[in-house]
Amino acid sequence: MVVPSGVKYGVFYTFPSNKQKLLSQINQSQLLTSLWKTNTNNSESSNINSPTTIPIPIRPKKQVYEQVTQENPTKGKLILKSKQLYHYAKELLKFYRIGINNVWTNLKTMRQLKKHKYKISNQLDAKGKSVAIRLPNFPKLTEIMAQSMYMSKVEHKVSQDKISKQQQDSSTYVKRQSSSPSAPTAPNSKSTSQATLIDPNLFSLSRQEYQILKRSPKDSLKLPLFAVTFLIFEELTPLLCLLIPELSPRTCILPQLLPKIYPPTPREHLHKSAESLNDERKIDLALKTAYNLDYARLKLLSQSLRLTSRYVPISLYPENMLRVRLQQYLNYLRVDNYYLSGLSGEDNLWNLDEQELIIACLERNLIEDISEYVKLKQEGLDSVELDEYCNRLRLRLLQFLIDFPKYNIGMLCIDNPIPLDHQQIITWREN
């Protein structure tokens, strides 16, 4: 596993006690440099976000009701209540209408990417016939991208080892020459340049496009049934989705549905099982692959990552199927981590908007219980508590992106604590 140079580890990376030490680590590591860099793009214009594949922001019911009350101070309780329900129903209708339209938009974009933008024409197959090469399905595409990243790391490691050997041989030669009284003494110098661990700009595909290719197929399958449900039930659709949240495409998921979609129980059991382990055993667990992770944790991890349906008992899934899905998920995390780290030459995790940040953390088992976020969201879109919550998650994601290159899928079984002084670290970066 590749470990960023200049960075000291226990089981997981911990931030240094002062800014100078952190900057020293950053200067010696390609990964840390890329993760810490500041980009001028805001979240709305950044290619690291895929806004059409996630729900649009919707005002909480409490906020809508308060606004209607302020606008109608003299109305009676019955009339006021009817107005509140009417205005909130309008918010919901707008939310679902745009969500459904975005599914169609994403489907068209996905077809455009596959059939035109990334299509290579006039290629010869094994029989000598002219063919066109198109993007494969998402799991295969991700596997190819993950393999490209691995090969890039191997090539750079071989190159760095060769350079190190040449420097060592040169140093040995200088020492031998310096033993002669007439030989000049070589100056004592150390290189502070950081080693390149992986090629930047490895893919022409942006993260925005990559996420469209990932999210659109599932949403397009759900669209026909959801559209019919919406036409029949209209403002009652949220009640139906509350019972069956999987009915909604990703673009039509209300915040209050998240606790049902991401139940905390599997994640809690998974992290609790690793709490009593010492550092050595935690490292062993973090290094576990999809094919040697113990069966009990395999089931819990598959459930927490939503690789199985909550309507089908986990015992009915063949073990090999779960391991294959987990390996595919590992490939996805490695590729997505490359984008979030900023190694693609574009933006990094600091440019993620709020919803993309939440999704990225849920995908990496970094949120124990999503109910806390939903509660903060219902209190208001611009609450100070919500900003602090997102800052903690961003630092937790930063730690994950630093640690994951030296571990494997087993790392998702272990809880990585949030730094207590997270606000100070945010201040270091802002200043």
- For residue 17, the 8-state DSSP code is S
Query: 354 near 293, Cβ under 8 Å?
Result: no
128-137, 146-155, 167-176, 421-430: least confidently modelled range: 167-176
pLDDT value of residue 191? 40
What pLDDT shows up at residue 187?
A: 39
Query: 185, 20, 215, 7: which is closest to 107 by C-alpha?
Result: 215
Angle at 288 between CA 213 and CA 205, to 5 degrees: 20
Mean pLDDT of 178-196: 47
Contacts within 8 Å (CB) and 24+ apart, 384-391: 388/423, 390/354, 390/357, 391/422, 391/423, 391/426
Residue 371 has pLDDT above 70, yes or no: yes
Over 50: is that where the pLDDT of 188 sits? no
Rounded Cα distance, 253 and 251, in Å: 6
User: Any idea where the domains of the chain sit in the sequence?
Assistant: 9-21+31-55+254-431, 57-118+204-253
Task: Report the half-sphere exposure of 321 (CA within 13 A, side-chain side).
Answer: 7
pLDDT at residue 419, as a whole number: 60
Over residues 72-88, the mean pLDDT reads: 88
Q: pLDDT confidence of 333, banded at 50, 70, 90?
A: very high
pLDDT of residue 115: 85
| Lowest-pLDDT range of 122-136, 137-151, 274-288 | 122-136
Residue 370: pLDDT band by 50, 70, 90 thresholds? very high
Per-residue confidence (pLDDT) for residue 377, from 0 to 100: 87
Answer whether residue 192 shows pLDDT above 60. no
- Residue 366 CB contacts under 8 Å (≥ 6 apart), including other chains: 393, 396, 397, 400, 416
Per-residue pLDDT at 122 exceeds 90: no
* Inter-CA distances, 4 with 31, 61, 405, Å: 6, 46, 9
Over the stretch 257-289, which tens digit does the pLDDT of each residue have?
A: 999 999 999 999 999 999 889 989 999 999 999
The predicted-structure confidence for 91-109, as pLDDT tens digits, reads as follows: 988 998 999 999 999 999 9
Find the mean pLDDT for residues 299-306. 96
Q: Higher confidence at residue 181 or residue 229?
A: 229
Q: What is the pLDDT of residue 134?
A: 80
Give the model confidence (pLDDT) of 372-413 as tens digits.
999 988 876 567 888 889 999 999 999 999 999 999 999 999
The listed range with the strongest mean pLDDT (37-51, 66-80, 146-160, 207-221) is 207-221
CA angle at 314 for the pair 308 and 316, rounded to the nearest 5°: 105
Residues 80-84: contacts with CB within 8 Å, 24+ apart? none
pTM of the model: 0.87
Tell which phi-psi region holds residue 167, choosing left (phi > 0), alpha (psi between -120 and 50) or beta.
alpha
Give the H/E segment covering residue 6. none
Phi, psi at 189, each rounded to 5°: -130, 150
Residue matched to tokens 């659709």: 237
Higher-confidence position of 239 and 350: 350
Residue in the structure block whose two tokens are 């950053």:
26
| Structural tokens at position 196 | 């390149």
What whole-number distance in Å separates Cα of residue 179 and Cα of residue 181?
6
- Of the candidates 345, 338, 267, 353, the residue with the CA atom closest to the CA atom of residue 305: 267
| 297 vs 245, higher pLDDT | 297
On whether the CB atoms of residues 10 and 279 are closer than 8 A, the answer is yes
**What integer pLDDT is reported at residue 330 of this predicted model?**
97
Residue 363 in contact with residue 333, Cβ under 8 Å? yes
DSSP-based three-state secondary structure for 387 = helix
Q: What was the pLDDT predicted at 7?
A: 47
pLDDT higher than 90, residue 345: no
**Angle made by CA atoms 20, 25, 28, in degrees to the nearest 5:** 130
Three-state secondary structure call for residue 418: coil
Mean pLDDT, the chain, rounded, equals 84
State residue 382's pLDDT score.
Answer: 61
More reliable by pLDDT, 123 or 321: 321
How far, in Å, CA of 390 to CA of 357, rounded? 8
Percent of the chain whose pLDDT exceeds 70: 84
Ranges of beta strands (E only) in 58-112 are none
- Count Cα atoms within 13 angstroms, Cβ side, for 3: 10
- Residue 164 host element (H or E): helix 138-178
Q: At 17, is the pLDDT very low, low, confident or very high (cuts 50, 70, 90)?
A: confident
Whether 38 shows a pLDDT value over 90: the answer reads no
What integer pLDDT is reported at residue 178 of this predicted model? 57
Of 104, 64, 393, nearest to 252 by C-alpha is: 104
